């Protein structure tokens, strides 16, 4: 099933997507609430919606992020992306990357919908997108094995981790972050596709083999396969649960794919800002086989509020 959250006539609802229409749930509940009740509750609500509710054409609604996640972990699981970006910084030593699926926590309050406008972050002059797929946790667990973790992943969605590259390069010299460079917008959508729908795409190594495409203003800039990840989502979930809990609604981003999954990788390989950074009016469209398409247009942001530099006590 495909579960969506949307606004129709000013009212926020959730429901099931089928045949370019969305069937609202027959009771006022969001996806995260149903997921917390359990996968059976989510599927039961979906079946009722398909058989009992009056469907609404998708063009008549505004799609929101399918859920408001309590946490968002964003990984770096594509070797070619890591190598390309590192090349731009003149860094060829990233041996530690191979040890474990590294991630950072990003802002769960910054989620935007599949077709929402994206403001340029305050003070940013090198704005970028990132083509990712995200797994969504449906059942709590800790210290899981990868085999156990598969039962804890309820579905998948598309994630675009919008990035202010100039801010990122500056703030990470402090050995923390990324922080404000990733803090203003993350697209999540267009809906949540349950894990069983993507099982036919799983290859012999355990990876979901889905085609990934990114365009800017209609021109293709990136293409890859999800199966080129270095770790499976089950391994990522197991690592996330090491020594702690993962809970329903937690989002695990794959990290940016290679071969043009973001502009920064191409800048690193080309040695120049080509293609150029995103500016207001640019539209980024991401399509993932088996899941769907998101498309966001960049708009003007706000100027940064001035802050004083540090008061040195040395």
Half-sphere exposure of 66 (CA within 13 A, CB side): 33
Question: How many Å apart are CA 233 and CA 249, to the nearest integer?
Answer: 15
Structural domain includes residue 305: no
Q: At a CB cut-off of 8 Å and minimum separation 6, what does 116 contact?
A: 187, 296
Asked if 22 and 77 sit in the same domain, the reply is no
Residue 234, token pair as written in the block: 């089950």
Structural domain includes residue 307: no
Asked if 22 and 90 sit in the same domain, the reply is no
Asked if 20 and 83 sit in the same domain, the reply is no
Question: How many Å apart are CA 241 and CA 151, to the nearest integer?
Answer: 13
Taking the CB of residue 208, how many other CB atoms lie within 10 A of it?
25
Asked if 210 and 270 sit in the same domain, the reply is yes
Asked if 43 and 154 sit in the same domain, the reply is no
Asked if 137 and 50 sit in the same domain, the reply is no
Asked if 91 and 55 sit in the same domain, the reply is no
Asked if 46 and 168 sit in the same domain, the reply is no
Asked if 115 and 145 sit in the same domain, the reply is yes
CATH number reported for the structural domain that contains residue 266 in this entry: 3.90.850.10
Q: What is the distance of C-alpha 21 from the center of its chain?
A: 23
| Residue where a domain terminates, one of 21, 45, 63 | 63
| Residue where a domain terminates, one of 40, 63, 86 | 63
Structural domain includes residue 263: yes
Strand partners, 220: 215
Structural domain includes residue 92: yes
pTM: 0.96
Q: Say what the alpha-carbon torsion angle 265, 270, 275, 276 is, to the nearest 10 degrees.
A: 90
pLDDT tens across the length of the chain (314 residues): 999 999 999 999 999 999 999 999 988 889 999 999 999 999 999 999 999 999 999 999 999 999 999 999 999 999 999 988 877 666 666 789 999 999 999 999 999 999 999 999 999 999 999 999 999 999 999 999 999 999 999 999 999 999 999 999 999 889 888 999 999 999 999 999 999 999 999 999 999 999 999 999 999 999 999 999 999 999 999 999 999 999 999 999 999 999 999 999 999 999 999 999 999 999 999 999 999 999 999 999 999 999 999 999 98
Its domain, for residue 144, covers 72-299
């Amino acid at each position: 099933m495909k579960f969506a959250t949307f606004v129709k006539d000013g009212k926020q609802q959730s429901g099931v997507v089928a045949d370019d229409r969305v069937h609202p749930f027959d009771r006022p509940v969001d996806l995260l609430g149903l997921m917390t009740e359990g996968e059976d509750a989510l599927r039961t609500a979906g079946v009722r919606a398909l058989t009992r509710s009056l469907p609404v054409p998708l063009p008549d609604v505004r799609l929101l992020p399918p859920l408001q996640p309590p946490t968002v972990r964003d990984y770096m699981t594509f070797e070619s992306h890591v190598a390309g970006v590192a090349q731009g910084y003149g860094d060829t030593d990233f041996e530690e990357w191979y040890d474990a699926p590294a991630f950072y926590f990003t802002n769960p309050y910054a989620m935007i919908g599949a077709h929402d406008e994206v403001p340029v972050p305050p003070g940013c002059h090198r704005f970028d997108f990132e083509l990712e797929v995200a797994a969504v946790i449906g059942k709590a667990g800790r210290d899981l094995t990868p085999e156990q973790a598969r039962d804890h992943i309820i579905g998948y969605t598309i994630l675009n981790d919008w990035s202010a590259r100039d801010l990122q390069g500056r703030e990470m010299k402090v050995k923390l972050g990324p922080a404000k460079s990733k803090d203003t917008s993350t697209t999540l959508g267009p809906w949540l596709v349950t894990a069983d729908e993507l099982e036919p795409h799983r290859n012999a190594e355990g990876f979901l083999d889905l085609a990934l495409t990114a365009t800017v203003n209609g021109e293709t800039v990136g293409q890859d396969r999800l199966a080129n990840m270095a770790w499976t989502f089950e391994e990522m979930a197991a690592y996330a649960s090491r020594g702690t809990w993962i809970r329903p609604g937690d989002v695990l981003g794959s990290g940016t794919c290679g071969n043009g999954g973001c502009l920064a990788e191409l800048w690193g390989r080309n040695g120049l800002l080509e293609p150029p950074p995103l500016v207001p009016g640019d539209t980024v469209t991401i399509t993932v086989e088996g899941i769907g398409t998101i498309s966001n247009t960049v708009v003007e942001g706000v100027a940064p509020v001035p802050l004083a530099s540090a008061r040195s006590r040395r």
